[in-house]
Structure formats: structure tokens, C-alpha cells
Structure 1
């Protein structure tokens, strides 16, 4: 027998016994193998099921303008999962302009911007946008067709740190940015009022022909004034502007400043370009709005001292800066604001000199808009509405909040607004859902019924279906492998429970509710996780802490039961003691006979464990009247609760307070088990609980297969630097209530949430959701010694790409891990196989000096045997190795002793591995073939020959043995030079075949 045959026989025989042993061990408890998870392709789409139907984002408009052609532009923000800026363009009939953006809407990102404060159409038809950021402003531009214009400024943006700021369009297409430099320490001193003027050319770049760096400073203005962030700069036709400033001292005046395009005071206005409230005869009035009149003057609106609620003032200034006494009484008009602040009113001047005013009206909680039309003298126009006034109310919406008032093309008014959908659910609910809306009034103040939806309104036209906002807290798997999901949802702007049942392959179970989903219409404000438990009859009990009141300040408990078909069970009579104040978590358990256990906490220093019969009535054989109260010390406020049922019928009830962790062990009648801890109680007090802004959210108690208990407590606190620091405290307790160990793990900057699932070998899978600038999620495996399994993934972390958070974990009867979380589109449920290959490191390369063959192994014992000569002579280590790690198992094949190929081959699980297995099945053992041996280690597949960040390429070279009539052999190495060395000797370079951790 050749030395190669001897070597292969030795290696192969040893490996066969290793495989047999591993398979037997795997059958007994597969989690003795520390393997990284792999998505279960038999579940959903490649292992993932999407939960919820993507619905429209919420839309909050904040700016609007009429184009010269009569089309209406509205800009604002989409909210919820992905916040982005939008610009909507409507045709004069209220329909979206299909030639603009995507079906009338342009969606784009505005970095660091929280509000769009200015929207205008450029001279060339482009759309100019000014956004307010936390530190200044950002300008950007869309083309006339709604395409983001990257040629503007720097990659589409021009930004600066001064604020407030407005732009004024210049006749040549450039922009003049007006901002307040009063607080700029490099320019100003004291309280001097200073304006910064920055001119951008048509490309959005500072114009050096205007001034060095395109910037001029206008100083010498009266002191103790500032630009107001809410008051626009009024553009003049020649490129100049008028800005309103307010005194920054109590009882101060206001100031109007008119500036030329060249950056100098316009002496044709007032006194050398300045007009004060003293000049106009109303120095104590405080202006909040200013618009340009049709004859070049200014109309101002504000408050008059004392600022009594419900009254605002209008006054007018001529083009030359004088008081216009033709308005109201001596140039001043007092009007009713309906009890709303003056800054919420919207003001417009019409071409005939008339004035339109919109203010909100609160009618028994329904907020509508009142529109009034005044003539040029300030007298209500009797031909408009009823005595000059009309009210706008939109059916199905509880709030109609105008953002502006604009003239339409028929002598009437357009009222762009943000409207809020009504949620009718009694005392415990709030309105949910915002839309863009535009009301169109004719010259008589009546709705133009031909507009928008045919009732005078264009509503919700920007709602593009993008995401669903469901959240899965609890995953149940029944005896038939059906999966029940419980959580919360705000689909259709309705707060409700999420209850859904899937078949074992992830498809909706149509025998449950409507197409697998139930909407119980409980209408509650959820506080904490939604818990669910399934009885042997198939009935599902759902419970959570809830809150009543507009802000959830009063705690309640909601519990209900569904039958196996998803129908609410009317015979379920919950009898639960509510907590004293707003509760955050309710523990739930179900006994084999259907009796239910609830654990609640209260801020009054008491924790309560209740037991009910299957129908929800109190179990009078448990405690006193069906409940047990556990008093806490006066210093403690309870926060979270959880419980587990043990095999002997007893229950462990866990309570987390601001000071300590308490575990109470009671039997099926509620009597304390004295052998547990101290008289049936275990207490753990930790300094970690102090000085935290968030503790134990979520908080979990697990019963492990070795009889021990494990508590996971999430801790978020502030460091001395003020940054948020998150970590996980894991406490392991023996079955008799003694502390085994406590460890604080995974401390990192940021805020974190945690979820847990117990594995059959007493280890625990932990999901960590990280909330920083970019949200992400990862899985970890906690070993029985409270350390993290470094082989579970790179650095011990198995990342979940694309997932923003994980809200629930569980293990099914087949030891598959179900992970519920959210990505950018919806809630998702993923199923992972944990029975993969060993994640060992390193993978060592050997070379046989006699045979010119290479061999790699991930088995440290096998490598040691080869070093000792058990595989025959000639084998030496090359010194090359690469690491195991990733999400994809690597298949190991061996040819055969006779007829061969007497060698080993490795490939990532996938098409190549499956193809070799299929050939093995149809090829007789008497012919050459590759025989599958095992899943040997894990790695990461390359994408188009490129490895992802954090990995290095592993190359494969082939000796072309089949063509030469010799045994095939392959070399696998992360060393490109090593591969090149054999290629120079005639081997074939097969490129990058896998990616190893760095």
C-alpha cells in the first residue's frame, strides 16, 4: 500500500470515528457543539418571514408654496421607521403631479435636519429647500421634475452653523443667505445686532465676486435685537430684503431692517433702513408673523401686552416704512384667535389687498380650522362664508392644523395643513396618524367640491407604503409546530395587540382569525411586553401592563383569552389586581391543567402573585383568595416581573426593584418552599442598580436544564462623560436558591435592549439590540460558566444583518431558534438552525513532503495526531492557517482509498456541496467520487469574488490531478503568495472560495 493510501486510510478512519461520535453526541444534545447559527431555508423566504403589510408613513408638512403655473408644492417630513424629507407637488385640481418625483412625491435625505423652514420655486423651475439643523441650516435643491440635484453645493448640500437663516433669491439666479451673527464670538461683542450675508452662485457655491468667501457682515445695527427663528425674511424684487428683529430684553421694542442686495441698509425705508415699533406707534406689540402686501408694504401679526389669551393684533407698514393708518383703528386691528397662541395662526395678503387669516378652533376635542376674510380696511367680507368666516372640518380626522394660507386660481384660498386621524377608543387612547391635507375654498368661502377627492380636500396623497410598525414580544410554538406571535401593532393608526399564527414553514395559518391574524380591538396603551401562554386546549391567554389616561399615568392590567380559532372567549372572566400606578411588565404562566399565574408589581412597595382557574376566576386554593402579596422595603420601587414554572409544580416569581432582585419560590398552593434560599426567598442587591436611567428592560427569568435559574438584567446608565453606557448583568442561581455567580457583560457606549432563550445544554442565547447612531442587533451564546462562547461568531457575536432590533427569542421542539425583531421595512421572524459545525480556530495546513499533497483540518485533536505521526510519515505543518468563523458551514469530502481520489476536498455548503452529494448518490462506490464526511467548520461566502469587511479571502488551487491521471488535491490558504507558489508549479488557481475572520 502506498504511503498516500496509508495516510488517507489513517486520516479517513480516524475521521469516520470522529464523525460517528459527533453524530451520536449531536443526537443526544446538539448544543454540546458550539456552532454559529445558520438560517433555516425551509422557513419563509430563506429563513425569514415578514410580519405585517407595509403601510404608509406618517407625513408632517411644514412649508408650502404656489408655483408660477398654479401647481402647489408642500414639503415636510415622513416619520416612523425611516424619517425622510418629502416634497409633494399637486396639480390645480388637487391630484398628484405624475411628472414630479415618483407619482408626485420626491423623497430624499437631509442630514441632521429636523425641520423644513423654507420652500421656494427657483427662476429656472427648480425647488429650493432650507432645512433647520441642530447647529444651523442646510440648503438643497431639487430639479423641476423632483430629482435631487447633486450638482448643488457639495454633493447636493450647502450648510453652515449660523441660525436662524433664510435665503433670498437674486435676479441672476444666485442666493443671498441672511443669518443672525449676533452670538458669533469671532465677530460680535456684547449685544450688538449683526447680520451675516452669504451669497451663493447658481451652483450653490460661495460667490467670491460678492465678497471674500462670499460673505459680508452688516454691523452697526441697534443693540439688543435678534432675528426670530420663526419670522421669515421678506424678499424684495431687486434682491434686497426686510428682516424683523425682536428685542432680547423684557419689555423691549421690535425692529424692521431693510437691506439692499449689495449688503447695505436701504435708506429709502424708514430712518436710514430702520423702522422700530416706536416709529409705528405700537412699541409694546410683539410681532410673530410678517408678510409682504400687494403694494410693497408689510403686514405684521402678533401679541399685544398684556398677552391675554385669545387676542392677536394686525398692523400694516407702507413700502416706505410708515404706519398705514387705513387698517382697523389708526392702523391697528385686534382680532380673536380662538384661544390658540398667535404663532399658530396663518396669514396671507391677497392681490386685492384683502387679508386671509386661519386659526384653530377646539370644539369638544375636535380641532378644526377657522378661515376669515377681511377687506383691505380690516372689515370682515360678508360675502365670504357666514359673515366673513368659515370653518373647515375633515371627516375622520381630529385635528386640522393649517401650515399656510395661499390664493388659488379662482379668487379663493388653498389651506395646506397637517391633519391627524381619529382613533376612537375611549379614555385610554390617543389620536394616531398624520397626513398631508389641502383644503380648497372658492371666493365665497365654500369648499371646491371638484378638488382633490371630490369633496374639496386633497388628503394623504404622500402616503407611500414603506413599512409596518408591528412589534413581536412573545413567540409560542405548540405541539403541532404552529407558531403564535404576540405583541403590539399600530396598523392603520390603531393601537392594538398583534396576534398572529403561522404554520411550521412560516406561512399564515388561515384557520386562525382572518388569514392567520387577529385584531382583538382592545385599544390600549401598552406598558411593557405583551405576554402570551397557550393551554393544552389550544386557548391562548394574553396579558400586559397597560395604562389609562392621555399620557398613561394610571396603571391597569389587560388580559383576555382567544379560542383555538382566534375568537375572543366570552367566558373568560379576568380577576386581576391592578397595580397602584403605571405598570411596566406582567409575568404570565400556565399550568398543565390550565390554571393561570400572573405576577404584577406596583410602585407602592408590593409585588403580587395571583393564580386563577382556566376561566380567569380566582383559584381560592392558592394563597389568600387566589393571591399572595410580597411586601418590599420602603426604599424599593418595583419595576419588572417574571416567573417560571418548575417540574415539581412550584413557581419561582422574580421581582426587580430599584434596589434589589428578589426571587420567591412557592408551591402550587402558594406556600413558601423553605429549602429555597432563605425561607423561600433569594435576594441580590447590586450597586449596578443605582444611578441608572433604565434598568431591566426587558428583564427575564429562565429555568435551565441543569436545574439552575438565570436572570438577565439590562442596565443603561450615564458615564461621567454624559454618554450612555449599556451592559448586561447575568445572575445564575442554584435550584435551592443560592448564588452561583453574577457577571456584567458586553458593556459598550450606547443604549441596549436584551432578549433571552434557554438551550438544552443549560447555555443561553442572548440577543442584543444596540441603539446608537445606527441601530443593529446580534446574537451571543452564554455558557454555563457565565462567559460568552467565542466560537458563536466573530468575537463571540453573530450579527443579524439588516435587523434593527430583536424583541423576542424562543426555541422550538427541534432546537431551532426563532428570532423576532424589526428591520427597516417591518417586523420579521427568522428561524435559525443551531446544529451546525464546530466553530473552531485555527484551521491548520499540513503538507506531505513525499506526496506533494496539502491537507487542512479544523480538528485540534486530528492535528495533534498528525503531528505525532498517526497519519503516516512526511506530514509537516506549513505554518499557514486561517480562522473559522462566519454563518455558512463548510462541507468536508473524502475520495476513497480505492479507487480514489485519495484526498480531501472542502467547499461552502451550497450548490457545490449539494452537487457533490448528488453525484455521490448516483455514483457507485467502485468508481471515483467524493464522499461527504461532515460539516467541518464555518466560514463566509465571498460576493463576486470579494470578501466583506472584517474577513480575509481564502484561495483554492487545484493540482489538475484528474486530467493527469493522479489523485486530485487542493490547497486552501489565505496566503496569496502560497497559492501563487503552487500555481507557478502548474496548479490551477480557482480564486477566492471563502472568507475567514481577520
Structure 2
């Protein structure tokens, strides 16, 4: 059978708003803005440096699926493109499996090696330590530093680094805090070039500061004479007024008595409620500038700059008093600042409630520079994305690089935060030649994800997921013919994308008896997550008889995260969600009428909050033959979590015929457990697939549990009702179904030593593996680090799986079909690959590079316009990438179709060409 493989990737323009005088500079990245999903799940940028050669080095943190959080480095060329000579495709992620690590600050030695300081939190005792890592200039770890490239200053108390700087001789100075009982000390550490503690500094390499009970050292610089300047703030506790201090230390760690003592610890002449030191710098003339955030007694917030003479006295020539106050909104915070070669000061800030990053520029005398942005302030707003601007750097030509974190409001298991990079021209306008309108989105991240699968009566296959539109995520439903080709009778294109004016994520799909399609998911608004239901007609159009516009959004007052839906024979819809209030998490079960209204015959309100006295989380739900509701998930008891399975009557009350209380918990003796699917057998027994975890995501186990209708474990199944199948260190199941013959199919993943494989397991009804399936009951598919999300089976017994990638640079809708027999288990793929194709850059101008996840052999590349006309064709393409010229194309949206020369399988990518 010929398999048509379609990959759809959409990247549109980021909706960026700049202040009146702001113009995007088209020379950096793609129109000046880059928002980067650097690694797999959550990413943030905390520091940025410009190398001598003009390359941009960015530091932050990131985490991959099933791994600890690590230090992330990315290096870009001067124009914002990826520096392929650094790490892997310009990026390095450094993890230590005993710690979660966050990069705080970085510096470049004279020999071009890179020093990073970070916070390392031990996974078992949760104690935070200072971590140093050194890299060679190409991104490799320097094993001559510390122990195998690392220094972890492990103590019995929390040590949190805030800033770092280097001496010209390579010695390293780090400032931060040390918590001992109820006291937080400010601390200064000095290390030798090899990473050992420098005992010539304050005898033991450490100098502490104590003024009040809470002392925070937040910034440090080394003067040209080797003396150390530190800035910070102190208070009686976190709830009391803060006071600033500025200290100077001699090379040996003693206080410098020549530095004006009145500023060792000073009460500002401004009436105080709260003031925090953020950064300091030293001008060429030796004068010292300190940046702080200040909140007065009337809750008015200011950004404060103070300048001091070399002696430590306040410099009265700066802003006429030595202090510059800039009035800002209550939610605006300054983070870091820098100085231009002409002495002008640049301050980075962000505003929490307006999705806005700002850079302020001051003249050398402390007055706002009205030639920059609007009245001295350049503002950058990205619609529906919160931006925290953490650091700025200045290129040799005066252009300004800003980095930080961009929040996408995806609170699920995939990406929540992306790295944000922007470049401004010297007048404060965004550099349109960098990134996407001044920002760069350099995706290691997700483009589209398939979450759930369903098969219609006619054999057509539905996948639901989400797709990134260049600004946020929308829900997408795709329909395929039984042979895997796109069904163009469905919304004319085979797919329908639904935007509810925010970020929306699909979690489950179900089909009504009349063929209408219901998708349940999550919709994020400014403050929290809500439940969303969307109903489509069989042709893919929105069903406007469902709450007038086809969409129902339910807000229970806090965060609600949809996990699963099911449909009654009469068309009513039951939905399960996690419900988070200020105190705990409960399971919420909602039932809707066929018109989308809440069904008040269900617990009087249409809503049941299932609470066992602990935190509960739902993994899945299903309906029994008698319409009772089965729910599985977990009960979190703090030190451990057990698999929770519950049964609810049709009126919304717990079924006391199920283990008396209406629920049962099962301890897998692995520390943590989660039920991921639940289904009732023909004989009334209840099957739950789940995951057991005994070491925070690094030792996962597949589990199958079967209960009697009464809620007792079925001892005829496996060992006392439980079956474990161990394939590797990391195995997990996401879905399970029961065939008509009673055999069980489970879909999930297993770790192959490098990444995840898709796994399908087939069991006999007694829990033993079915050796008529792929000889041993196990089908393991090494498929570009994808794992199965959902499994279903058609009338002919063919198995279909929707899958998602842990390697998000190639995260696409994937549909696989595998045969259900002893040996004929060749994989046919309904939606994916030759393998995947990525375009960099995208959007692009005259050229872009197509990158393939598998090597091509004599392939053909076709480019089609939006009128379904082929406008360009390239034949005999081989290799892992191909640079394609687009000079003859006008700006617009195109489909790039790649057809493999050997298999005739094809994949497509959406490409945006700009003017």
C-alpha cells in the first residue's frame, strides 16, 4: 500500500507592537525579534554577552522531557543566525542528573573559554548550591576545570548565586546568599582559574556580610586596581523595608577603609518601603553607578540610578542630586543595565501586566535621552505573551541586544517558556533584520503536536492537537482517509484550525453517534487556564448549534486543565479536568447537554469536584456500559502518590458499590504512580494503564492494573492484579484499549539509550504478553524520538497511533498504523515523514535552508502556492539539508513538498516568504 505522509508546519509573523518611533531593523534574524524555544520544555534566558568577534552568547536554563533542568547556552552569529560551530546547532544543554540547574551569569576568559555560574538544587535534599561550569570556546565542557568541568560548592545550607565577574588573571568572583537557620547572609566567593577556592581571599575564599536578618548580595564588579565592588540590600525579614548597601573590598577580602563609610550601609534620602539593588557598573572614569527598584509609601514604583565618586561619595553632578528617579507602573521592574561607549546608560525592564519589555536610555548626566525611543524609553510588546527582559548587551556598532523569557501560558507537559532575544537600533527602534520583526524564534521547540486519535464508523481517522501560528497555539483537527491520505472533504484541506483568541491546546477528541466531532482542551487567558469544548460538523465546519459559536468555555474560578472527554449515546458530554484552587488540586467532572450547556441533572450544577482529602489529579476517564463514569489518575500524599480509580453514578454521586467509598487507591511501591487510561471489559472488570516512578522521572515503569467490578484487585490478572513490563530504565504507557477478543493493547514509550521509542504492547486477557504479536508481544519503533500519546483500532483490527516527539525541533503531527499480527509489523505512517523537514529561517526572504531529519536520496522538492499551483521544482536532491533560492517568488505563504526518490513518500512544510 502506498503511504502518503504529510507534515504540516506553520510559522507566521509574531504580532509585535513597538512605541511610536520604533522601527524594526531588518538586518538581524527575521525582522529583529527572535523568540526561541531553546530546548524541549521550559527555557529561560538570564544573561547575554557579545564576544570579541561579534557573536552573541546567551545563557539560561532548559529541560528536556524525562530529564533534569540544566544550564543552556546558545550562540548566534552577529546577524542573529545560529552559530553552527558552537555545540550542537549552536546550542548546549548541560545537565547533572543529581541536580536541577539554572544558569545565572556567564563570562568569557582571556583565552575565550566560557565560565558559567548557576544554582544547582539537589533532587533529594532540595538544598541549593553554587555551581560553576567551564566550556571551551566551541561549547565543549572543559574537563580541566574543577571535577570534569564542574565545581559544585555543596554545603548543608542553601547557597544562591546572583552575579559573577572575572579578574584579568582569570580568578572568579561570585556573590549571592547563604542561608543559615533564620539568617540570610550576603556572601562573596573567590575561585582560582582551575575552579579551586582561592584561600588568599579572606583566608578561606569566602567573605560574608551581615547587617540585618536578610542580606542579599545581588551584583559585583572588579575595579581596574583589583578591588571588588558589591551592591545589595538588607532588611529585618522579607516583609520589612529594604535598605541598600554598596561595599568595596580589597584584593585580600578585607573592607576598603578608603571607601566612604557612609555608604557601607545607607538609608536612602528617599522615604522607604522597599528598595532592591539590581546591578552596578563602573564607568571609564572610575565612577560607580548602582541600579535599583524602589517602591514608596504610596505604592508608587520608581527605577533608581545612583552615581558615586571613586571614593564612594554620592556624585552630585549626576541628575543634579546623584540620584535619578524614573516613575514607572506598579508592575514594572528594572533588571540589568549597561553603558555605551559614549557614556549613555541603558536600563532593561519589563512590565508584568502588559506583556511589555522596555529599555530606557539616560545621558551621562543622568537625564533621560529623548532621542531614544519615545522620551528616552523604547517599549516592545508581544501580543498575548508575557516578556521578562533579564539582560542587555551592546554590539560594537552600538546596536542593543536584549534577552529574557517569553511566557506562552502553556501550563501542560510541554513548552511553557521560551527564550526571547531582540535587537534594537541605536535610536531604540527594533532591528527588523533580526529574528521575527526584531525578535528571534529559534525553535528547538514545538510546531504542532498530536494529542488524541479517534476513528469514524467509515474508517476515517481523526487526530486532534495544537499548532503554533507564529504568535500562540490553536487547536487543530486533521482527518485522514483509511489509507493515510488527507481527507480533503474535511474543511476542503483535510484540517481545521480553531482560534479562541488565546492559546488553546487539545487534549481529547470524541465522535458523537451523528458523526459530529467534539474536542476538549485548555484555553489560557491572562490569569489562568479554562476548559474549552469545540464541536465540529462532519464536514469540518464549526457547529454553531453548540453554544451559538461552536465553542464552550468554562471557568471554574481558578486553573482548570482538561484531560479527557467521553460522549454518552444520547450526545451528552462528560469531561474530566484537574482543578487547582489556592489550597489544593481536585478532580473536576463536568457534564454538558448536547447544546453545550451544563447538565443540571448532574449533581445539580453539572459539576462534581472529586476530593479524597489529598491532592488529586486526573489521567483519563471513560464510560461504563451502564453510563457510570470511570476515572483514573492519582492521589498525591506528599511523600508518595498512588494510582486513584473512581466510579461515579449518573447523578454525579460516588458509586458506593465501588470499594464502599466510590474510589480505590493502588500503591505501586515505586514512590509515585499515575493512571493514564481506564476502560471497562465486556465482563465488567476495569482495566487501568499507568506509570510508576521511583526516582523523579529517571526510572519509570509500565503498569497494568485490573479491578473487579467491586473495586477489588483482580488476582487472576498478572501478580495480584498488577502487571509490570520492564523494557528499559524509562518505560511509560499513555493509553490502552481492549480488543473484541479481550486482548489488551497498550501504547507508550521506552528509552533506547539515546532517546525514546514508540512502544506497543499486546497482552492476553490474563496479563501475559501475547507472543502472536510481533513474536514477543512487544513492538518497539525507533522513530526520531517520538512517543505514543493515544491508540485505537479499526473494524479490521488495524492499529493506529498518534505520536509526539520529545525532540521538539521535529515535533509534528504523526499518525502510525501497524499490523496486528505475528510478523507483518512493518510500520506505515499516515502523517509524518520522509522524515521531517524544517526550514531555517522561516519566515524567510530570498533563501532558506531545508533541513531533513533523515538523509534524502535523489528526492524532489516542489513549491506550491496558495492557489494549488506548483511554482518551483528541484530534482535529484540528496543529503540532510538543501539551500533553496526563492528569488522568483513573491511574498506570501507556500507549501514546500519533498518527495523521496526511493520510497515515494512525501512530506510538506508551510513556508512564509516576506517582502
TM-score, structure 2 length as denominator? Answer: 0.64
Name the CA distance, whole Å, in 2 between partners of 1:630 and 1:280: 55
Please report how far the alpha carbon of residue 288 of structure 1 lies from its aligned counterpart in structure 2 after TM superposition. 2.7
Superposition pairs of residues 664-703 of structure 1, within 5 angstroms: 685-688=663-666, 697-703=675-681
| Alignment check: 8 A CA contact 1:768 1:806 kept | yes
| Residue 176 in structure 1 maps to residue 176 in structure 2 | no
Considering only aligned residues, what root-mean-square deviation do their CA atoms show, in Å? 5.9
Please report how far the alpha carbon of residue 256 of structure 1 lies from its aligned counterpart in structure 2 after TM superposition. 1.3
Please report how far the alpha carbon of residue 558 of structure 1 lies from its aligned counterpart in structure 2 after TM superposition. 1.4
Please report how far the alpha carbon of residue 240 of structure 1 lies from its aligned counterpart in structure 2 after TM superposition. 5.0
- SS of aligned partner of 1:492: coil
Instruction: Give the match for residue 848 of structure 1.
Output: none
Instruction: Give the match for residue 831 of structure 2.
Output: none
| Residue 234 in structure 1 maps to residue 221 in structure 2 | yes
| Alignment check: 8 A CA contact 1:725 1:751 kept | yes
Name the CA distance, whole Å, in 1 between partners of 2:797 and 2:686: 19
Instruction: Give the match for residue 765 of structure 2.
Output: 784
Corresponding residue to 2:281 among 291, 301, 326: 291
| Residue 712 in structure 1 maps to residue 702 in structure 2 | no
Name the CA distance, whole Å, in 1 between partners of 2:172 and 2:319: 35
Instruction: Give the match for residue 436 of structure 1.
Output: 420
Distance 1:638 1:155, change over 3 A: closer
Greater RCO (CA < 8 Å, at least 6 residues apart) = 2
Instruction: Give the match for residue 860 of structure 1.
Output: none
- SS of aligned partner of 1:296: coil
Instruction: Give the match for residue 495 of structure 1.
Output: 473
Instruction: Give the match for residue 153 of structure 1.
Output: 145
Q: Deviations over 1:844-883 (max 9, x none)?
A: xxxxxxxxxxxxxxxxxxxxxxxxxxxxxxxxxxxxxxxx
- SS of aligned partner of 1:233: strand
Name the CA distance, whole Å, in 2 between partners of 1:779 and 1:99: 39
Corresponding residue to 2:484 among 499, 503, 506: 506
Q: Deviations over 1:751-783 (max 9, x none)?
A: 965311212321212235589998776443343
Distance 1:177 1:298, change over 3 A: same
Instruction: Give the match for residue 464 of structure 2.
Output: 486
Name the CA distance, whole Å, in 2 between partners of 1:805 and 1:278: 58
Superposition pairs of residues 749-764 of structure 1, within 5 angstroms: 754-764=734-744
| Residue 141 in structure 1 maps to residue 138 in structure 2 | no
Instruction: Give the match for residue 364 of structure 2.
Output: 375
| Alignment check: 8 A CA contact 1:600 1:608 kept | yes
Q: Which has a greater percent of strand?
A: 2
Corresponding residue to 2:721 among 743, 746, 757: 743
Instruction: Give the match for residue 560 of structure 1.
Output: 535
Instruction: Give the match for residue 639 of structure 2.
Output: none
Name the CA distance, whole Å, in 1 between partners of 2:88 and 2:434: 19
- SS of aligned partner of 2:85: coil
Superposition pairs of residues 899-938 of structure 1, within 5 angstroms: none
Instruction: Give the match for residue 964 of structure 1.
Output: none
Corresponding residue to 1:447 among 429, 434, 456: 429
Name the CA distance, whole Å, in 1 between partners of 2:435 and 2:617: 53
Please report how far the alpha carbon of residue 310 of structure 1 lies from its aligned counterpart in structure 2 after TM superposition. 0.6
Distance 1:228 1:888, change over 3 A: farther
| Residue 320 in structure 1 maps to residue 321 in structure 2 | no
Name the CA distance, whole Å, in 2 between partners of 1:833 and 1:453: 50
Please report how far the alpha carbon of residue 101 of structure 1 lies from its aligned counterpart in structure 2 after TM superposition. 3.1
Name the CA distance, whole Å, in 2 between partners of 1:660 and 1:77: 37
Distance 1:87 1:664, change over 3 A: closer
- SS of aligned partner of 2:666: helix
Instruction: Give the match for residue 818 of structure 2.
Output: 832
Distance 1:396 1:464, change over 3 A: same
| Alignment check: 8 A CA contact 2:215 2:234 kept | no
Q: Which has a greater percent of helix?
A: 1
| Residue 473 in structure 1 maps to residue 419 in structure 2 | no
| Alignment check: 8 A CA contact 1:166 1:177 kept | no
Instruction: Give the match for residue 365 of structure 1.
Output: 354
Instruction: Give the match for residue 795 of structure 2.
Output: 813
- SS of aligned partner of 2:799: strand
Instruction: Give the match for residue 835 of structure 2.
Output: none
Instruction: Give the match for residue 442 of structure 2.
Output: 463
Name the CA distance, whole Å, in 2 between partners of 1:303 and 1:391: 19
- SS of aligned partner of 2:171: strand
Larger Rg: 1
Superposition pairs of residues 170-209 of structure 1, within 5 angstroms: 170-171=167-168, 174-179=169-174, 183=178, 195-200=188-193, 205-206=194-195
Aligned residue pairs, count:
736
Name the CA distance, whole Å, in 2 between partners of 1:590 and 1:744: 30
Please report how far the alpha carbon of residue 199 of structure 1 lies from its aligned counterpart in structure 2 after TM superposition. 0.9
| Alignment check: 8 A CA contact 2:391 2:402 kept | yes
Corresponding residue to 1:521 among 499, 523, 535: 499
Name the CA distance, whole Å, in 2 between partners of 1:287 and 1:54: 43
Q: Deviations over 1:341-370 (max 9, x none)?
A: 54x3432344454433343357x8352425
Q: Deviations over 1:75-112 (max 9, x none)?
A: 44567769872433343xxx236776379972112224
Q: Deviations over 1:780-801 (max 9, x none)?
A: 3343235555887899765554
Name the CA distance, whole Å, in 1 between partners of 2:101 and 2:782: 28
Please report how far the alpha carbon of residue 820 of structure 1 lies from its aligned counterpart in structure 2 after TM superposition. 2.3
Instruction: Give the match for residue 264 of structure 2.
Output: 276
Instruction: Give the match for residue 729 of structure 1.
Output: 705
- SS of aligned partner of 2:76: strand
| Residue 217 in structure 1 maps to residue 192 in structure 2 | no
| Alignment check: 8 A CA contact 2:383 2:471 kept | no
Instruction: Give the match for residue 541 of structure 1.
Output: 517
Distance 1:232 1:750, change over 3 A: farther
| Alignment check: 8 A CA contact 1:196 1:216 kept | no
- SS of aligned partner of 1:242: strand
| Alignment check: 8 A CA contact 1:490 1:496 kept | yes
| Residue 53 in structure 1 maps to residue 9 in structure 2 | yes
Name the CA distance, whole Å, in 1 between partners of 2:524 and 2:10: 29
Instruction: Give the match for residue 110 of structure 1.
Output: 94
Q: Deviations over 1:455-491 (max 9, x none)?
A: 996421x614665440321231553x43222234445
Distance 1:689 1:254, change over 3 A: same
Instruction: Give the match for residue 301 of structure 1.
Output: 291
Unpaired runs of at least 5, structure 2: 12-34, 39-43, 122-128, 580-585, 636-643, 828-915
TM-score, structure 1 length as denominator? Answer: 0.59
- SS of aligned partner of 1:136: strand
Instruction: Give the match for residue 390 of structure 1.
Output: 377
Name the CA distance, whole Å, in 1 between partners of 2:143 and 2:609: 65
Distance 1:474 1:373, change over 3 A: same
Name the CA distance, whole Å, in 2 between partners of 1:393 and 1:632: 42
Name the CA distance, whole Å, in 2 between partners of 1:663 and 1:691: 27
Instruction: Give the match for residue 574 of structure 2.
Output: 599
| Alignment check: 8 A CA contact 2:565 2:576 kept | no
Please report how far the alpha carbon of residue 374 of structure 1 lies from its aligned counterpart in structure 2 after TM superposition. 3.5
Superposition pairs of residues 609-628 of structure 1, within 5 angstroms: 612=594
Distance 1:697 1:211, change over 3 A: same
| Alignment check: 8 A CA contact 1:287 1:303 kept | yes
Unpaired runs of at least 5, structure 1: 1-41, 671-676, 839-886, 890-998
| Alignment check: 8 A CA contact 2:587 2:610 kept | yes
Name the CA distance, whole Å, in 2 between partners of 1:730 and 1:50: 38
Please report how far the alpha carbon of residue 291 of structure 1 lies from its aligned counterpart in structure 2 after TM superposition. 1.3
| Alignment check: 8 A CA contact 1:303 1:313 kept | yes
